[in-house]
Structures are given as C-alpha cells and as structure tokens.
Structure 1
Amino acid sequence: MFSFIAHPYPKSESFKEIFVSSLGAGAAVYLFLIIFQPFGTENFQHPYKFVLLFPYCIIFGTAFLMANLITSRFSNWNIGSELLKITFILCTGSILSYFYNSLFLSHVKLDIVNYFYMFLYTLAIGIPISIIYILSRYIYLKTIHEKKAHDISQHLPVSPPAQRQNLLKISAQNTELVMNKKDFLCVQSMENYCTFYFLENNSLKKALIRISLTNVLQQIETSSVKKCHRSYIVNLGKVKKLKGNAQGYKLVLPEIDFEIPVSRSFIPSVIPQLQQQHS
C-alpha cells in the first residue's frame, strides 16, 4: 500500500493545464448533480433548479484551481500527495457548498451537524470522480509518453551522430572549464553548484563548479544543448534512448549511470529537437 502511495504522479505544471482541468472538475460535479440528482435533489422543485445547482460547479472548480496553483511549485509529487490535494479540495468544497446551501437554498440555521451531512455528501460525489480522474490521467499520460518514447528511440542511432569541433566555455568567478561540444554530456545542478559530466580521451570526467544552472545555460545553450529540467542541461546529440512514463520522459546517455528527466514544461522544446536531429 505504501509503495503505491509513494509512486510518482504527474502534477499539473502550466497555468493553462491547471485552468482547463479545473473547468473539467467543476463541470464533472455539475453533470453528476443534474444527471443523477442525488441526496434529495430529485425532490427539490424549482423552475430554475439547474441554475441554482450551477454554483456547485463554480465552487468545486475554484477549489480545484486553488489547490493546483498552491501545489504547482511542489517537487517530488506522488499519488499520496495527489490524494492529500484531493482531500483538501473536497474539504474546501464542502465548506463553501454548505454555506451556499444554508444561506441561499435551504435557509437553515448554520449547524455543525448539518455541515457533517454536507461533508458526507461531498465525499459521496467527490471520491468516485477523484478516483476516475487520478487513474484516467495517469494511464493516459503513461500510455502516450511510452508510445512516443518508443517511436523516437527506434530512430536514435546506436552511435551518437558526429558533432562539429565546437568549444564550450564555462566561466565562473576564477574558474574556467573548456571542452569540445562533442564531449559534453550534461550538467546537474544542486543548490549553488553544478556538476559537469563530459568525456576526456573517451573516459567519463566530472567537474564541480560554483555556478547557477541559469548562468551555465546562458553560456553554452545551442540547438542541441538544452535545459530539460529545472536541475539538468543535456547534450541531445548524446542521447541514445528515450523512456516514457506518466510524468514525462527520461533521457538515456550510455556514458552515465543515471537517467535524465525531462520536465513536462520542457517537452515542447526538447522532444521535437530530439526528433529533428535524429530524423
């Protein structure tokens, strides 16, 4: 059970994706209410009943939007984190729904027992919708990323293509690192330091320099040397294999013993370039 909860889960990164998914969440709640009419809604008679139910769409859509905006900056997101976020959405939605129902629909006195019933109603609606959302989104992203990674990997050469003898120069304070572009593999950032991975006489070398990843990118970025993650810059010309999962993609370079992640926000700039240079 713990291993399932700790499994990585792709979180929404762009505002567009967050906004669209929030609209979808609100619409799903509204459709559930007007189609199934649960919890006595069927017996609620009013000429504008469906109009009066629409604010629940706004309430849960807003709660979904708030939760995703708050958690968009978090890292190491997993299924457990997603479940906590969903719990926050349901609690927030139940509170707002209770006030709306009490003040504008039923006109009953605010009471903790009545809110408890509203919370149960919210769980009854929210849990099945949340389960469908989490599983369908995970399966969809995993499927499309794995398929695309497989298609691209089939066209990657066994030996990386020859690169011109361009020099990459990295300057930081009193330190300067110079290497051929064809020998450069990647840069890994950790706090205020960057570790450079490169080849020297066909042997893997590492150099640790006090410099920000942004500063490094400004000095060495080319059409094939790209930032692919908030902590990585990679030479796409050295990529031998591409792997896909629900969170995005991972780049495999034969010279290093770890896989380089591609954040979903960098997919539009990295994956097409990888396809182009190996097509």
Structure 2
Amino acid sequence: MFSLTPYSYPTSKSVKEILISSVAAGVLVYLFLIIFQPFGTENFHHPYKYLILFPYTLIFGAAFFASNLCVSRFKDWNIASELLKIFLILILGSVLSYFYNSLFISHVVLSFENYGYMFLYSLAVGIPISAIYILSRYIYLKNSHENTVRNTTSQPIEPPLTLTKTILTISVNTTELKIPENDFICIQSMENYCTLYYLDNNTVKKIWLRISLSNILKQVQTQTINRCHRSYIVNLEKVKNIKGNAQSYKLILPEMDFDIPVSRSFISIIIPRLKHLKR
C-alpha cells in the first residue's frame, strides 16, 4: 500500500467533474447510512428520519467539492497527497457532522469526548466510501487524460514542411548565444543550472548554463518551443512520437538518448500544438 504513495494521481481540471464526483461521494455517504444504519441509527425513530440524515450528504459533498477545487490548482499530485486530502476531508466532515448532530439531533452538550466518537464514526463510514471514490475517480481521470492524447499518439509526428528562420538569443551573465530555432532541441534543468541541447552541423551539442528554467524560458519560448515539465523545455518540431499513459507521458526525440516527460498540467498546452504540427 505505502509503496504506491509516490505514484502520480490525476487531478480534475473541470469544475463540472469536481461537482459530479463530490455529489456522488455525498450520495454514497447517505446511502451507506440509510441502508446499513450503523452506530445506532437503526434505533433512531422519527417520522422524518431519512430527511434528517440527508444533511450528512451535503456536509461530506461540500467537503469533497472544496478540497477537490483547491487540489485542481496543483501541478503535481500523487497518491500520498490524495490520501492526505481524504483524511483532511474526513476530519472536516466529522467536525461539521458533530455540530449538526449535537445541535439539531441529539441536543447534547458539546465535548471533546463526544466529538471523538463522531470522528471514529466518520472514519468507519468514510474509509470504505473513500476507497471506492479514490479508485473510481482514478480510473475515470486516467482514461480521460489518455483519451486526450490518443489521437496524437496513433501516428508518428512528422516535422513541418516549412522551416522557420528565427534566431534565438540566450543571454546568461556575460555570455550570449545565438541559435536558430530549428537547431534548438531541448533544455534540462537541475536546480539553478540548465543544460541546453542543440544541433551544430547536424551534431548534437550541449552546454551548461547557470540560469533558472523560468528565466531561460522567457528567452526561448515560441510557438513550437514550450515548457512541458517542471524540469524541461522542448522544441515540439523535434518530437517524433509520444509514449506512455496519463501517469507518465514521454516525448520521443530522435536526436536524444532519453525521453522527455510531460507533466499533466502541460498536457492541455503540449498536445494541441503537437496535433497542429502534425497537420
């Protein structure tokens, strides 16, 4: 279980998907309560029993919605982060449920001991529901991201027929480099250093520069040269093919002996431009 935590977990970019998944999570909580009636719920008799239980749907659904909306802004997310998010949702849901139960149903005095019971109840209900939620949402989002690039990966990406003559100027301290855009291959970043790969008389050359990736991106970014990962900038004209899946897309460049990863946060930028170049 713990060995899986470093692996990436897809996040939502659509508010509609977040809303639907959050409503589904809330409904699962409600169905669990009315079907299994745990923790003495079966002994709670009231003509509007099911209506009284319904706010738990709103509580947990809102907790899921707020957390997923915040998470959608993160570029990198993994299973460990997702599990931590679920745990925080259960804490938030248990606090709100405790106040609702104490003030509107049980009418008991607020105390940490009573909240402790509510927290344990929330864990008992939330853990199986969260397991279903995490697995189903992972499958849906993974398939959604894979469908985004399926049309692109079906055929090799051919270089454009018309070559640009743009000259890139890269200034680092007292060093100034001028490289034709067509000869630019990629940049790999490690901390405050960048390794620039380019063609010189059809031979791959590389040079180390003391500059951050964000600063060098301002100097080289064009319609075809883009950032695709927190550590990489790539010339999309040099991309021959794509491999991998929603967890690990990689760009294949014939000139390089390594593949260039694509972060999920850059898929919406990189894939459409690759499709445009393939036309």
Query: Following the alignment from structure 2 to structure 1, what is the Cα–Cα distance between the partners of residues 48 and 140?
Result: 37
Q: Which residue is equivalent to 1:89?
A: 89
Bigger shift: residues 40-49 or 192-201? 40-49
Q: Is the 8 A contact 2:11 2:141 kept in 1?
A: no
Query: Following the alignment from structure 1 to structure 2, what is the Cα–Cα distance between the partners of residues 85 and 198?
Result: 42
Q: Is the 8 A contact 2:195 2:207 kept in 1?
A: yes
Matches within 5 A, 1:1-279: 1-12=1-12, 21-30=21-30, 32-33=32-33, 37-41=37-41, 44-46=44-46, 49=49, 52-65=52-65, 67-68=67-68, 77-157=77-157, 160-162=159-161, 163-247=163-247, 249-279=249-279
Q: Any idea what SS the aligned residue of 1:10 has?
A: coil
Query: Following the alignment from structure 1 to structure 2, what is the Cα–Cα distance between the partners of residues 202 and 50?
Result: 73
Query: Following the alignment from structure 2 to structure 1, what is the Cα–Cα distance between the partners of residues 16 and 206?
Result: 39
Query: Following the alignment from structure 1 to structure 2, what is the Cα–Cα distance between the partners of residues 144 and 66?
Result: 22
Runs (5+) with no aligned partner, structure 2:
none
Q: How far has the Cα of 1:76 moved from its partner? A: 5.6
Distance 1:206 1:145, change over 3 A: same
Q: Is the 8 A contact 1:25 1:60 kept in 2?
A: yes
Distance 1:269 1:77, change over 3 A: closer
Distance 1:192 1:23, change over 3 A: farther
Q: What amino acid is aligned across from residue 210 of structure 1 in structure 2?
A: R
Q: What amino acid is aligned across from residue 167 of structure 1 in structure 2?
A: I
Q: Any idea what SS the aligned residue of 1:137 has?
A: helix
Q: Is the 8 A contact 1:149 1:244 kept in 2?
A: no
Distance 1:172 1:58, change over 3 A: farther
Distance 1:147 1:76, change over 3 A: closer
Bigger shift: residues 268-277 or 57-66? 57-66
Q: What amino acid is aligned across from residue 134 of structure 1 in structure 2?
A: I
Q: How far has the Cα of 1:253 moved from its partner? A: 1.9
Runs (5+) with no aligned partner, structure 1:
none
Query: Following the alignment from structure 1 to structure 2, what is the Cα–Cα distance between the partners of residues 54 and 234?
Result: 51
Q: Any idea what SS the aligned residue of 1:97 has?
A: helix
Query: Following the alignment from structure 1 to structure 2, what is the Cα–Cα distance between the partners of residues 100 and 161?
Result: 62
Query: Following the alignment from structure 1 to structure 2, what is the Cα–Cα distance between the partners of residues 114 and 147?
Result: 48
Q: Any idea what SS the aligned residue of 2:107 has?
A: coil
Query: Following the alignment from structure 2 to structure 1, what is the Cα–Cα distance between the partners of residues 106 and 45?
Result: 12
The superposition leaves residues 142-182 of structure 1 with CA deviations (integer Å, 9 ceiling, x where unpaired) of 3344455453223224x644533322222233221221212
Q: How far has the Cα of 1:29 moved from its partner? A: 3.1
What is the percent sequence identity of the aligned residues?
Answer: 61
Q: Is the 8 A contact 1:139 1:246 kept in 2?
A: no
Figure out how many residues of one structure are paired with residues of the other and give that number.
278
Query: Following the alignment from structure 1 to structure 2, what is the Cα–Cα distance between the partners of residues 233 and 27?
Result: 44
Q: How far has the Cα of 1:106 moved from its partner? A: 0.8
Q: Over the residues paired in the alignment, what is the CA RMSD in angstroms? A: 3.3
Q: What amino acid is aligned across from residue 117 of structure 2 in structure 1?
A: Y
Q: What amino acid is aligned across from residue 53 of structure 1 in structure 2?
A: L
The superposition leaves residues 191-249 of structure 1 with CA deviations (integer Å, 9 ceiling, x where unpaired) of 44433222223332222323343433333322222222333322111112213433463
Distance 1:195 1:55, change over 3 A: farther
TM-score by length of 2: 0.80
Q: Any idea what SS the aligned residue of 1:245 has?
A: coil
Q: Any idea what SS the aligned residue of 1:223 has?
A: coil
Q: How far has the Cα of 1:263 moved from its partner? A: 2.9
Query: Following the alignment from structure 2 to structure 1, what is the Cα–Cα distance between the partners of residues 233 and 15?
Result: 24
